[in-house]
C-alpha cells in the first residue's frame, strides 16, 4: 500500500464523514418537530442512528470506491484523466496533499482525544463503582449507599449496577430506583461511552448537539419506564422535582443517572398526547437500503469521493 493511497483513504473517510455530519445537523434542525412527536425510545433510536451515520457512511463510501476501482473493466484513472486525485488500489495518485494532511491531522487529534476521554471516563467510573460497592448495602443490581449526600447513578459496562444514596427519602427512593433499573436494563453507561466514540466522526457542533440529545432521550426513556412500572406518571414527575431540590451530587465517569433537564422531562411525562413509535426494524431497513445503494452505484460514489478529495488535494 503506497503512502498516497493511505493519505487518500484517510482523507476520504474524514471528508465524507464531515459532509454526512453536516447533513445530520441540517436534518436535526429541520426535523426537530418530528423528533418531539416520537416517544422517548423511538427518539433514542433515531438519534443513535444519526450518531453512527457519518462514520458508517464514510467507511461504506470508501469501500464502494475501492470496489469500483477493483471491479471496473476499464482503467479508471485513464477514464477520468487527471482533474482530481485517484483513489485507486492499482495506482493511487496524489500530487499536492498538504491540505489533506492537515485535515487528517486535525481529525486524528480529535479521534485520539475522544478515545482518551472515553478511557478516562471509564477509569473514573470503575474506581467510583469499586468505592460505592464497598459501602453499598445489598448484592443485587440496585444498592443503597450510606454516608453520602443525595445521588443516584448507574455505573458499569458489562454488568451495570444502580447506586442510590440513603439520603434520598424512602418515599422517593422507589421511583428513583425504578428509573435507574431502566438504565441498567438498557446498559446506558456503555451506550453513552460508545456513542462518544461514534461522535468523534461528527463536526464538533453537531457532535455536541447529538450528545446532549442522546443523554436527554435516555433519561426520558428511563422516566417513561419508571412511570409504566409504578403506574403513575405524576408520581415520577413529582419525584423529578423533589430530587432536584435535594441538590444531588454528580457522579463522575461513564455513568447514567437521575439527572437532566427537569422541566422538559416533567412536561413530557405529563403530556397526554399519544406519541408515535418508530421500530428499530425501520431504521435497520433504511441502513441496509443506504448501504446497498452506495455499493450498487460504486462507480458514481468513487468519482464523487475523488471529486471531494480534489477540492483539497489538487
Asked if residues 69 and 299 have their Cβ atoms less than 8 Å apart, the reply is no
Higher pLDDT, 26 or 142: 26
Please give the residue range of the domain that contains residue 272. 3-313
- Asked if pLDDT for residue 216 goes beyond 80, the answer is yes
Number of domains in the chain: 1
- Asked if pLDDT for residue 191 goes beyond 60, the answer is yes
Asked if residues 79 and 91 have their Cβ atoms less than 8 Å apart, the reply is no
Query: Residue holding cell 443503597?
Result: 144
Beta strands across the sheet bearing 152-155: 136-137, 142-145, 161-165, 152-155, 255-257
Residues forming a β-bridge with 145? 136, 165
State residue 275's pLDDT score: 85
At 255, is the pLDDT very low, low, confident or very high (cuts 50, 70, 90)? confident
Q: Residues 254, 54, 48, 206: is their CA dihedral positive or negative?
A: positive
At 211, is the pLDDT very low, low, confident or very high (cuts 50, 70, 90)? very high
At 234, is the pLDDT very low, low, confident or very high (cuts 50, 70, 90)? very high
Find, among 107, 103, 57, the residue nearest to 94 by Cα: 103
State residue 274's pLDDT score: 80
Number of H helices and E strands in the chain, helices first, is 12, 5
Q: What is the DSSP letter of 167?
A: T
Amino acid at each position: 500500500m503506497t503512502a498516497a493511497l493511505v493519505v487518500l483513504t484517510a482523507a476520504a473517510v474524514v471528508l465524507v464523514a464531515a459532509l454526512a455530519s453536516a447533513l445530520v445537523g441540517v436534518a436535526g434542525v429541520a426535523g426537530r418537530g418530528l423528533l418531539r412527536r416520537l416517544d422517548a425510545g423511538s427518539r433514542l433510536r433515531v438519534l443513535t442512528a444519526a450518531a453512527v451515520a457519518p462514520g458508517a457512511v464514510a467507511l461504506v463510501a470508501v469501500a464502494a470506491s475501492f470496489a469500483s476501482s477493483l471491479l471496473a473493466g476499464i482503467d479508471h484513472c485513464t477514464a477520468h484523466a487527471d482533474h482530481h486525485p485517484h483513489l485507486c488500489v492499482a495506482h493511487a495518485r496524489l500530487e499536492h496533499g498538504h491540505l489533506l494532511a492537515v485535515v487528517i491531522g486535525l481529525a486524528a487529534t480529535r479521534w485520539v482525544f475522544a478515545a482518551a476521554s472515553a478511557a478516562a471516563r471509564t477509569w473514573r467510573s470503575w474506581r467510583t463503582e469499586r468505592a460505592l460497592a464497598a459501602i453499598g448495602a445489598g448484592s443485587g443490581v440496585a444498592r443503597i449507599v450510606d454516608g453520602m449526600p443525595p445521588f443516584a447513578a448507574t455505573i458499569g459496562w458489562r454488568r451495570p449496577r444502580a447506586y442510590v444514596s440513603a439520603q434520598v427519602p424512602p418515599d422517593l427512593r422507589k421511583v428513583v430506583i425504578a428509573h435507574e433499573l431502566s438504565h441498567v436494563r438498557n446498559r446506558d453507561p456503555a451506550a453513552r461511552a460508545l456513542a462518544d466514540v461514534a461522535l468523534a466522526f461528527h463536526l464538533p457542533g453537531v457532535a455536541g448537539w447529538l450528545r446532549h440529545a442522546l443523554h436527554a432521550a435516555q433519561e426520558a426513556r428511563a422516566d417513561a419506564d419508571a412511570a409504566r412500572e409504578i403506574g403513575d406518571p405524576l408520581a415520577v414527575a413529582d419525584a423529578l422535582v423533589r430530587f432536584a431540590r435535594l441538590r444531588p451530587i454528580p457522579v463522575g465517569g461513564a455513568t447514567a443517572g437521575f439527572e437532566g433537564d427537569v422541566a422538559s422531562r416533567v412536561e413530557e411525562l405529563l403530556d397526554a398526547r399519544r406519541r408515535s413509535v418508530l421500530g428499530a426494524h425501520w431504521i435497520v431497513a433504511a441502513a441496509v437500503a443506504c448501504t446497498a445503494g452506495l455499493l450498487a452505484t460504486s462507480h458514481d460514489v468513487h468519482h464523487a469521493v475523488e471529486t471531494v478529495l480534489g477540492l483539497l488535494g489538487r
